[in-house]
Structure 1
Amino acid sequence: MSADEVDIGQLSENEREALQTYTTVTGQDLTAAIPLLQRSQWNVQIAISKFFDGEGLDPVEEARVALNRSSSPHSQRRPQNLMYDDIPSFQHRSSVSSRGLQSAPPVVTQSEDHGPSRPPFLLALFFTPFNLLYRLLYSSFRLFGTLFPFLPRLLNVAGNPALQGLQRNTSGRRPLGPKDTAGRFIREFEEEYGTNTLPFLENGYNMALEKAHQELKFLLVILLSPEHDDTVSWVEDTLLSQEVMEFLGDSRDDILLWGGNVQDSEAYQVANSLRCTKFPFASLIVHTPNVNTTAMSTIARIPGNTSPSEFVSKLRTAINQNKESLDRVRSRRTEQEVSRTLREEQDSAYERSLAQDRERARQQRETEAARQQAEQEEAERKAAAEKYAGNVLQWKEWRAWSLLNEPGPNDRDAIRISIRLTSGERVIRRFTADADIEEVYAFVECYDILQGAVELDHSSVLQKPEGFEHKYGFQLVSPVPRVIYDIGSGGSIRERIGRGVNLVVEPIDDEEENESS
């Protein structure tokens, strides 16, 4: 804020005097002095204390910077106490002025994890004499204030008579975050007045205000000043009376309860925001949808010492006057929730149906792929079988062509063998004595080829199938005595069989072949 933005001529006489006193003591420029005095409610003592003792960053400006950074991936946090995105209080007041309702905006408090900033050491050392002078004058002022009570009232320009003189008594209380401050208030309340069933919210005012807005409930704010003479009697006779306790117990589902000690900074700001005029003070806040979609307005103010019946009567009257509009908002939210739930169920049903369709399509693809794989394997098997059959036929033709000719009847070394085929047919053939035993096997294997060809054409040389290794599916056995002439042992016909023998062709099963192997 620059000095041009605030016209000093528009300041009141008391504000100009406060500004002159502050600048005389601190020597600070107007550009920094005026905003600090505004944040201190134009209280010179508070402003001077903030200047010398150190004041944290302006929470409003800090919130604006956080909001501007929230869109960037480097933003780590956001102030916890701004519920309406830094909307000034006067905007709420103007929105509800047409109905005569007082706005209940959130208060700007310091974040719990943000400690007070301190001035540099050299600057603090430079202003040490002024700080000592201020403390001396402050002590003298308190002495004169005790002797002459009218002097503080003449010099105090805070604007709220109920809060005059309270701020000086808050310096002895340790500043805490909103949640810890609420917990301290509840603990001190129970220590002072005993255990009770009052459902005080153990969080900050802004969180209570936001909770009441979200849940569409009434927020009852209780502000107490320990210095006030009526505080103890009002709490014991009114707030803790059976009538009030029963009313709050019956309305537990509709009313949220928040309390604060005005000696704490947050409760002090709440008292200023709610225009507290007398202690003890109670205020009933509720969402007012007819005024503003996000407005929280004060619908009942109960200042001073009141009887339990009067206290309950004012609360009940305010609740009855605003319950109908609040019920309409609840019904509308319920309808929206039902619609949202219905859409979610429809979306969920659509997703399940889509997942089922995808699963069926996947199964169909897998079935089709399995069918194609089976067809391909069957085609490959048939092709392999056809190729094998062709190789076998080619091998038989080649082997039939390469068989040794049968010796003539004049060859005395020829060996006569009688073979009974698997078909039952008996074949007698003469073999060369020096021929390998495989010659007999080849004759049996190629017998059908030999029978089909009346005369083999020896003019063309038949080729053995390349890469094909023929295996005989039978064995030659002599029945009596039983002797197996296996081909694997090799040897010539004379060595294995002798002069002659009767042989039987026995097929070899795959299982027997595996067992023998």
Structure 2
Amino acid sequence: MALPSWLESILGRNGYQRTDANEPPNNHTNNNMPGAYQEEQTNTQPSTTVRESLKKISAYVNVIVAKPLIITLLLIFQLLSAVINILYFRDLNTSPPPEEMIDPIDKVNKFVRDLEDGMEPSITQNLNQLPPFFEGSYTQALYMATQRGKILFVYLTNPQNESASFIFNEIIMSQEFIRIFNKDIIIWGGDLKNPEAYQLANSLNVTKFPFLGVLCLTRGTKMTPEGPKKDPVKISMIAKLQGGKVNSLDDASTIIRNKFLRKIGKYEPELNLIRQELQDRYMTEVLRKQQEYNYMASMQQDMIKKNEKKKRALTKEYLKYKAPLYKNLTNPPPKEEAKEYARIVLKFPDSSRVTVYFPKHLKVRDVFTFVEILRQNLVDSTSNLTESEATNKFKNFEVEFKFTLTSPLPPRTDMASKKDEEIEQNDLIYPNGLLLVEDV
């Protein structure tokens, strides 16, 4: 019996098969005789079905098993990499803060340290001091120069593009140069890694480094039909020295005298006048602000007094409106109604006593109001306000009591915290109680 063609394809049997004489003839050909060999029928449909099934199974295995396994391994490796990076390479991955986030004083200190590190030993042995560099940003130093009339030296360096630095080191470490600086002359320094120094170098068109410049307030004078007239004050560079333009034959003292001291002496008289004008302007501004402050304080005091006066008048009107409600509280109630009242003795600072009978449904706040009426002698007062007018006028109004009501029973209890309680709910005053009236 012949095997099915698709099974033979799986088992690897190829070629031809013998046809039995009793089997019906093949419909595909009419030339085969009974008992003869016939060409094998090519049936690819079952084999193709198996291959497609295997592909589907492979795809399912890939989606369900392989891909999740690969993703899981990748996540594990990334996690291990992050842990190792944190444990062993934390310091290497710590990036320095941005330049603009560094404190200006730290920048100055770093600049000074770099200067000292770059000095030659022969110089540092003889000259062991640097100028008193301004501890702050260039913006702050410029403010001092423009608003206080100070002379501002700026020292800019660029380690990648410097020439004639030897003579510069002798200049800035010279005692003659250091003695220049006082309360009216300051120096600021920075290298081009500092954004402020970089911007300053661009604004001053500095191309050679190191650079040493002097800035101060200046103004010119021009003739007009009305006479000489001075120009507005402006910040100007009056002297500068930069790398590549230093005569190596000149010593540091000569350069300091010719380049800086002579220029400072030339502009100093006019600068003294500018300083005086700035000081006068500053004092005028301080005086003006002081006057404004005093005026505002006076206005505030007047407003406070006006509000207090208005509040006192409103309080008095409120007490007059309430006075009739408490007019007969000093009379004892009938015996059959005694349980409906609380008998309260009020002791005043002058040792006088007043016995009052309050209906038990009233609140402790009514006791405070009655005491205030007694203090202002308004017991017999009346008011012309109707109930609706009083409701609108005294809406959200509360009397500010400048006394305390205290129960002497231990522990002493301040009744201020119990203003919203009904009298019958407070056993310190119902059915009987004693309250001490004390001024605040």
The normalised TM-score by structure 2 is: 0.39
More strand by share: 2
Which structure would you say has the larger Rg?
1
The normalised TM-score by structure 1 is: 0.34
